[in-house]
Structure 1
Amino acid sequence: MPYSPATARIDEEAIRALPKAEVHVHLEGTFSLLDLLTLAKENAVALPGPAATLFDISTHTGFDAPDVTTGGGAGAGSAGLSGFLRFLDWQCGLVRTPAQAARVAYAFAARQSASGIRYSDVIVNPTHWNAWRGRDLALFDALAAGFDEADQDGLCRVGMAYSLLRNQSAAEAEAAVAGLVSARPRRVVALSVDGDEKVTGRTGEKFQHAFAAAARAGLRRTVHAGESSGPEGVWDAIDLLQAERIDHGVRAIEDPALIERLIADDISLGVCPRSNVTLGIYPSWEQHPLRRLLDAGVPVTLNTDDPAPLGSTLESDWAVAAEQFGFTYDDLVGFAARSIEASFADADTKAALRADLAEHTAVVPA
C-alpha cells in the first residue's frame, strides 16, 4: 500500500550529525567531476563530452569508451545501464598510477566524512580499472595507502570488498580469491560479486567454491542479488555463496518465505532506493518496497550505491526517504544503528560507533 509522505523534510544537517556507516557504495561510483577533470589532464585524455554535462553521459546507452567491460556497480532495469557501466570503465581507466589511486581513495574517505559517515565498506571491482589488469593486488595496495592517510587525518575509516564480476568464470573467481587469501591485502575485509543479473543469469553455483574459500579464510561475504533478477538471486546468495549481507535484495519482497529466511538469519539488505528508481527497477520512490521490507521485519540499511553519477549524497537520500515514506527522526536513528551492525567493521570500531550514536541521540531530541 502507498505511504503518505511526512509533513516536513528532516533537515540534512541533522542526518549528517548521526554517527553511522555506509555498507553499499562502489568506489567506482564516487569520482567527483574535479577528480575526472584532474585525472584526464594528468593523462592527456580528452573528455568524452562537455565537462558541465559529463555525468549525463552515464545515462546514454551510446557512450563510446575504449576497452570496456560489462561489469558494474549499479543495477539493471534501465535502457541506460550499458552506457552507465561503460562510463565507469572510462573513468576508472583514468587511474593509472599508485599516487592517483591513493588520491581517489583519500577523496572517497573525505566525501564520506562530509556526509557524517564514520565507517564504510566500499566495493571495488577491479575489472573496471583497465590500467591495473593483472595487477589487482597492486591496485588494492595503492587504494589502501590512500585510506591509511585518510585514517591518519581523522576521516572516515574504510574497509574494502573485493568484487568479482558476474560474467567471470569460476576459475577466474577462484584464482582471485586464492590471491587474496595468500597476500592478505590490508583493508580488504570481504568478497563481493556484482554485475547485471538479468544479463548473466543465475551465477551462484559458478562462484560457490570461490565464496567457500573466502569464508574459510575469514573474509566476509556480501552479494549483489535481487535487483534486476527476482528472489531466486537472493536465495542463491544465501544458500550457495554464504552471503552475510545482500546488496540491494529489494525483490525479496516478492517471496514471503525469503522474507522469513532473511529475518531468521539476520541477513541485512543494503538498499539503495535512488539507484533503483533512477535505473528503472521501480518506477518511483512511492512504489519502492523499502517501507514494506522494514515493516516486515527485515534488517534494512539505506545506502547510495553510486552517488556521484546519480547526483546524490547519503544525507540527501535519507531525507528524501523520510519524506517519501513518512520516516521520523527516530526511524533514521534506527537506520544508523542498523548500518553499524551490518558493517564489516572490526569489533572495536563497532563498539565506538554504537557508543557515539547512543551519546548523540541522548542529547539530540527526536
Structure 2
Amino acid sequence: MTALSGEQVRAVPKIELHIHLEGTFRPARVVELAAMAGEDPPRPVDRLFAVDNLADFLETLDWVCGLVRDQPTAEQVAYDFATYAHDQGIVYAEVIVNPTHWSGLTTAELFAACARGFDRAQADGLGDFRLLPSILRQQSEQEARQLVEWIEGAGLDRIVGLSIDGNEDAAGRTGPRFAPAYADAARIGLGRTAHAGESSGAEGVRDAIELLGVSRIDHGVRCIEDTGVLGMVLERGITLNVCLTSNCTLLYSSLDDHPIRELAAAGVHFTINTDDPETLGISLCSEITLAAEHLGWKLSDLIAAQHRAVDATFCSEADKQALRALIDQTVGT
C-alpha cells in the first residue's frame, strides 16, 4: 500500500508533460461528433481503443480527430481537456498536438482554435496549458521543417516546443531526417522533446539526444538496455516523461517488468504522465498513485517529482518560479 492518500495526490498541484490532446476525447464527445458527422464508430465507443497494436491505435486516433471539422469544435476539445486537467489538480501542462491526425482542419486553424480554448480555460481559472506541435515520424524532412517555419511565423505564445511522435518501429531510424527541423527549432528558441525508447530501443534515445538536441524524452525507458545511453541520459540531465500504463499496454507485460525502479535507482530524472488518458481509461492521479505504490513514495517524494517536472518544462523561468511557489504554498513546505 502507498503512504499517499488519494486526497494528497489530488491536492498537490501537478505538472503533466507527456499527454496528447488526441487521446483526451471523452466518450460522450466522440458520440456527439460521430452523430454530427453521420459516421459510425469502427467499434463500440466503450471499446473504441481496444486494439492490439500501435498501428491500429493510430488509425482509430485519426478517425476520432477527423470528426473535428471546424474551429469552434477544436476549441471545445481543448477546453474539455482543461476541465479534465483541473479536476485532476493539474495546474500546468504541455499538450502534444499532431496536426496530421486532424484531417478536417489546417495546421493554422487547429492551433489557433486550441490556443483560444486554452486562453478561455486559463481565464476561467482552470490552469495554464501550452502547446507542443508534433511531427509525425513518417513525414519528410521538408514537411518537418515547414512545420517549424509555420510555428515561427504564427506567433502563438502558447506554443513552447516541438515534438515527434508516431510508430518508431514501423518508420525506422528517423533522427537524421529530422535533425534539420530540430536545428531550426533550436534557432527560434523552441523547447525540444521527442518520443523515443519505447517502440525503438536505446538507439532511438541516443539519436534523440545526439541528433535532435532534446532536453527531455517522451517514454525513453529503453535507455536502460544500453549502459552507454543510460550514462548519456544521466550526464546530460535528460528528463524522461514516463507513462506506466501506456508502456504496460504496448511494451511490457506487467509493471514488474517495467524498468522504472531501475531508472530511479540509477538517478534518472523522470516525470509521471498519462500519454492518452481517455483511450487508456486512466488519469494523472491514478498514474501517480500507481507509481507511488510501486516506488514506495511518500508525500515528500510526490512534491519532489512535481518540482522535477517544473524544471523540465519549456515555459519561462518566471513561470517556473511561479509554479514552484504554487506547489510549495499548497503543500505548506
What TM-score range do you get, normalising by the shorter chain? over 0.9
Separation of aligned partners in 1, 2:85 and 2:199: 27
Superposition CA RMSD, Å: 1.4
Which residue is 1:56 aligned to?
Answer: 47
Which residue is 1:240 aligned to?
Answer: 211
Whether the 8 Å contact between 2:3 and 2:296 is mirrored in structure 1 is no
Which residue is 2:56 aligned to?
Answer: 83
Which residue is 2:33 aligned to?
Answer: 39
**For 1:138-149, what aligned pairs fall within 5 Å after superposition?**
138-149=109-120
- What amino acid is aligned across from residue 26 of structure 1 in structure 2? H
Separation of aligned partners in 2, 1:168 and 1:8: 43
Aligned residues between the structures = 333
Separation of aligned partners in 2, 1:321 and 1:45: 39
Whether the 8 Å contact between 1:170 and 1:210 is mirrored in structure 2 is yes
Separation of aligned partners in 2, 1:236 and 1:55: 38
Which residue is 2:202 aligned to?
Answer: 231
1:221 aligns with 2:221: no
The farther-off stretch of 140-149 and 316-325 is 316-325
SS where residue 49 of structure 2 aligns? helix
Which residue is 1:326 aligned to?
Answer: 296
- What amino acid is aligned across from residue 103 of structure 1 in structure 2? Q
- What amino acid is aligned across from residue 114 of structure 1 in structure 2? D
State the shift of 1:9 in Å.
6.1
Whether the 8 Å contact between 1:58 and 1:85 is mirrored in structure 2 is no
State the shift of 1:141 in Å.
0.4
Taking structure 2 as the reference length, the TM-score comes to 0.96
- What amino acid is aligned across from residue 140 of structure 2 in structure 1? S
Which residue is 2:86 aligned to?
Answer: 113
- What amino acid is aligned across from residue 252 of structure 1 in structure 2? C
Which residue is 1:339 aligned to?
Answer: 309
State the shift of 1:55 in Å.
4.2
The equivalent position to 1:357 in structure 2, one of 311, 320, 327, is 327
Distance 1:219 1:55, change over 3 A: farther
Whether the 8 Å contact between 1:204 and 1:237 is mirrored in structure 2 is yes
Whether the 8 Å contact between 2:78 and 2:114 is mirrored in structure 1 is yes
Richer in helix (by share):
2
Unpaired segments ≥5 residues, structure 2: none
Which residue is 2:76 aligned to?
Answer: 103
Residue by residue, what CA displacement relative to the aligned partner does 1:15-41 show, whole Å, maximum 9, x if unpaired? Answer: 111112100000000111121122223
Unpaired segments ≥5 residues, structure 1: 1-6, 61-78
State the shift of 1:312 in Å.
0.3
State the shift of 1:142 in Å.
0.9
1:130 aligns with 2:103: yes
Which residue is 1:312 aligned to?
Answer: 282
Residue by residue, what CA displacement relative to the aligned partner does 1:124-151 show, whole Å, maximum 9, x if unpaired? Answer: 011110112xx21121001111111001
**For 1:159-308, what aligned pairs fall within 5 Å after superposition?**
159-279=130-250, 281-308=251-278
The farther-off stretch of 318-327 and 18-27 is 318-327
- What amino acid is aligned across from residue 204 of structure 1 in structure 2? G
Separation of aligned partners in 2, 1:181 and 1:213: 9
SS where residue 21 of structure 1 aligns? strand
Which residue is 1:14 aligned to?
Answer: 8
- What amino acid is aligned across from residue 305 of structure 1 in structure 2? D
Separation of aligned partners in 2, 1:28 and 1:148: 19
Percent of aligned pairs with the same amino acid: 46
Whether the 8 Å contact between 1:165 and 1:193 is mirrored in structure 2 is yes
Whether the 8 Å contact between 1:224 and 1:247 is mirrored in structure 2 is yes
Whether the 8 Å contact between 2:55 and 2:167 is mirrored in structure 1 is no
- What amino acid is aligned across from residue 335 of structure 1 in structure 2? A
State the shift of 1:85 in Å.
0.9
- What amino acid is aligned across from residue 344 of structure 1 in structure 2? F
- What amino acid is aligned across from residue 86 of structure 2 in structure 1? S
Separation of aligned partners in 2, 1:353 and 1:290: 26
Separation of aligned partners in 1, 2:18 and 2:131: 11
State the shift of 1:264 in Å.
2.0
Which residue is 1:74 aligned to?
Answer: none
Residue by residue, what CA displacement relative to the aligned partner does 1:185-240 show, whole Å, maximum 9, x if unpaired? Answer: 33111111011111111100000111100110111101000111111101100111
Whether the 8 Å contact between 1:26 and 1:122 is mirrored in structure 2 is yes
Distance 1:291 1:203, change over 3 A: same
Residue by residue, what CA displacement relative to the aligned partner does 1:270-304 show, whole Å, maximum 9, x if unpaired? Answer: 0001100012x111111111121111111100000
Separation of aligned partners in 1, 2:310 and 2:261: 20
